[in-house]
Amino acid sequence: MNNASEPIWLLKPNIHYLNHGSFGATPIAVLNYQQSLRERMEREPVRFLTRELEGLLDEARSQLADFIGADADELAFIPNATVGVNTVLRSLAFKPDDEILITNCTYNACRNAAEFVAHSTGAKIIVASVPFPLESSQQVVTAILEKVSPKTKLALLDHVTSPTASIFPIETLVKELACRGIDTLVDGAHGPGFVSLDLRSLDVTYYTGNCHKWLCAPKGAAFLYVRRDKQASIRPLAISHGANSLRTDRSRFRLEFDWTGTDDPTAYLCVPEAIRVMGSLLPGGWSSLRERNRKLILAARQVLCKTLEVAIPCPDEMLGSMASIPLGTVPLSWESLQSKLLEEFKIEVPIVPLSDRSCLIRISAQFYNRLDQYQYLAEVLKRLIS
């Protein structure tokens, strides 16, 4: 349990920070631990990077594996989910007319990666249109399965969508797609710490997740899970020493991903500390923290929808620690609205533009947030847009 009088985060106290979802925020205790690792590295760089790092990565990976219900042998540390998605897409050998299935909610950077690969291989991008507002998660399943064809080779699906902040029914989707012979790459940028993960029972082909968002590890900590049977074909974006290593004590997958050139590995090594620190904020550990944040987001969404007279846009069951609320067409550009909220009202919150000139607002809830911050946001928004 933390001592309530000590600040846990470095976040500026005069800003209502309602955007944990974009880049996370790291507790001071975890940053201090990272600094101690950096000092250890800088005192003896060669010893740290060539003799100690491998064992330290093994230990960190094994603790992450326990947290997400995976085997450590199926995990590689990578700097972020964008790299995870690129790594899989760019490793796979698509042929002309193969189809890569994505959705209208796919994160822009990942859609770009899919389009890049499609362009260079002749594969086609097929976009399933998931409605929002949504009445049930079955609508997500229907919208995606409707777009499957005999040419579908891979589905790239979000676990938690960035613009609409809804949890996709990924267990059902992975199963239904596997029955049709289709591999799934889950973009779980928001997954770890946001939902309770058990990758073993999910039995997905590929899953990439950020540790720097909801696990609150330092920035640049993420993982790529590749099911054992697919590891031979997945190569890191940077080919390095592992490619021709003669070692037989570790898999090629491990040798290649553990060294992709000189870098600062301390964010990866802090993952266990982030799991420990965040898991000790409440007596009930991680499940209590998730439940607390979810309750807060449900209450906050209620306040915003009521004040702005907007219908609740998706079922409670599809929410974790974020929610998006449609604002309709607003009287100023989304960029102006977002910067006005920050500069004039000290509220950091993302406004998401939609193609029809209307927009959404996405709120996040983390341990440092309180309900009155969303009440204030609702009042300010009412003044600015109605």
- Pick from 26, 80, 86, 87 the residue near ligand PLP by CB under 6 A: 80
Of 74-82, 134-142, 192-200, 272-280, which segment contacts ligand PLP by CB under 6 A?
A: 74-82
Residues 3-32 that bind ligand PLP (CB under 6 A): 22
Question: Rule CB under 6 A: is residue 189 a binding residue for ligand PLP?
Answer: yes
- Pick from 166, 210, 260, 321 the residue near ligand PLP by CB under 6 A: 210
Residue 46 C-beta: closest distance to ligand PLP, Å: 30
Residues 225-284 that bind ligand PLP (CB under 6 A): none
For residue 84 the two structure tokens come to 């995870």
State the number of binding residues for ligand PLP (CB under 6 A): 13
Quick one: residue 142, left, alpha or beta (phi over 0 = left, psi -120 to 50 = alpha)? alpha
Distance CA 223, CA 87 (A): 11
Distance CA 237, CA 345 (A): 42
Distance CA 362, CA 343 (A): 18
- Pick from 26, 82, 86, 121 the residue near ligand PLP by CB under 6 A: 82
48: number of Cβ within 10 Å: 18
Nearer to ligand PLP, 22 or 339 (CB): 22
Q: Which residue type occupies 309?
A: E
61: number of Cβ within 10 Å: 25
Of 31-39, 61-69, 186-194, 332-340, which segment contacts ligand PLP by CB under 6 A?
A: 186-194
- Pick from 187, 256, 258, 273 the residue near ligand PLP by CB under 6 A: 187
Could you give the count of Cα atoms lying within 13 Å of 321 in the half-sphere of its Cβ?
31
For residue 229 the two structure tokens come to 């049977």
Residue 227 C-beta: closest distance to ligand PLP, Å: 20
Question: Rule CB under 6 A: is residue 348 a binding residue for ligand PLP?
Answer: no
Question: Rule CB under 6 A: is residue 202 a binding residue for ligand PLP?
Answer: no
Q: What is the DSSP string of 174-205?
A: HHHHHHTT-EEEEEETT-BTTB---HHHHT-S
CA-based nearest residue to 131, from 314, 308, 309, 312 = 314
- Pick from 41, 68, 110, 322 the residue near ligand PLP by CB under 6 A: 110
Cross-strand bridge partners of residue 223: 77, 209
The residue ranges that bind ligand PLP (CB under 6 A) are 22, 80-82, 107, 109-110, 158, 162, 187, 189-190, 210
